[in-house]
Structure 1
Amino acid sequence: MNMISRCFSVRRPASGLRLLGLLLAATAVSQPVSAQTDNPLLYEVLDRLELLEREVRQLRGELEMLQYRRQQQPDTMPSPAPAPVVPVTPPPSASSTTSPLSSLPSTQASTPSGTPPGSDVQSAYDSAFASLRSGQYEQAVSQFEDFLRRYPDSALTPDAYYWLGESYYVLRRFEQAQQIFLTLGADFPRSDKLPDAMLKLGYIYSETGDIPRAREMLQKLIDVYPNSVAASLGASHLRSLP
């Protein structure tokens, strides 16, 4: 039994990227080796492919932020029943890897609610979130890391972990993003960001070529949180996997 079994946006436009990949392959095959590096069409296809991938990551981040802002609005509907606790533990290979936040004070899963945010805490969080929302991802990483060092027990700490992982994800720093999302699940198993973290872990495993683990994580998400937006996105991505 592996890690996912023990523990615990927008569908990627695979057809467009695959079409570009086929065009790229056809272009490369049709040209002599000596001419491939000087082919303007080859460079144009590569540039467009990179741009599309960047836009997909940004759109996923924007979707997450829209969902977050909607959750912050007053809700007149009855609160749903508490979500089941689904603890997350790192895979064996991750235990020997230094966490990108290893220097931070450890958080306690026994106090998920944390300390109510004061004006300074809220201001620091809002500033980091504003950087993320405006596309300043490197700055957002720095600000969220600083927030977690200064306010490890705040009620906003679980969300700060999630948005830090999101910032790493958009920057394609998948190893760091994976560690952050796993930390969120391990230390805050009742966080309402857990379904989104599981979705992003599924994306990361897919992006890094670990399709079996991606399938297992996304299926776990669907089974545990079947009515969540994350589960709907996960089901769509699961159907697109080879």
Structure 2
Amino acid sequence: MAKLSMVGCLVVMGLLTGCATQSAPLEPKVDSQGQLLQELTRRVIGLEQEQNALKAQVATLAEYARLPTGVAVVPVTRAGAAASAVAAGGEFDAALNLYRAGDVAQAIALFEQFLNTTQLNDVRVPLAQYWLGDAYYTQRNFEMANRLLATSLKNNPNSDKAPMALAKLIESLRALGRTADAEALAQYGVQAIQ
């Protein structure tokens, strides 16, 4: 029993001694942790300031952001607008005017009607394919945009619309997850379609 109490005393003394030796080193640890906390707080404040500055820049840039075609798309229902426009200047011109006015849905309908009723050798066909592809691109219907823009480029690779058609075709392919095709098209240009 004396042996047990002696061991108990040693354990208690060891604990007391250990506690006594640990109390002194805790003060520097608390002090260094306080400094670390201050440093981290300063960094967080700095990051918040950077974030606010970036938000301000994004807000400024968003004021100047435009759709890829430069046309503001506002859904508008105009009963009979397409019919009266066709009577005034033909399907192609009416579709283009509606598209430029922001009535994309009516423009798509007229461009499709024009393409379905016009001979393929009409010089406006590749342009109608471009504008129809552009309209689908604006609506983020990248599958249809892809088909029509590629057809337009194949039928008229030297058109003044070819650079825009190529750029939108590349972006449509990327949006569809076809990055390898997009990269090949970006590298080889219209020749990749021919």
User: What is the TM-score with the length of structure 2 in the denominator?
Assistant: 0.50
Higher helix share: 2
Q: Which has the higher contact order (CA 8 A, sep 6+)?
A: 1
User: What is the TM-score with the length of structure 1 in the denominator?
Assistant: 0.41
Higher Rg of the two aligned structures: 2
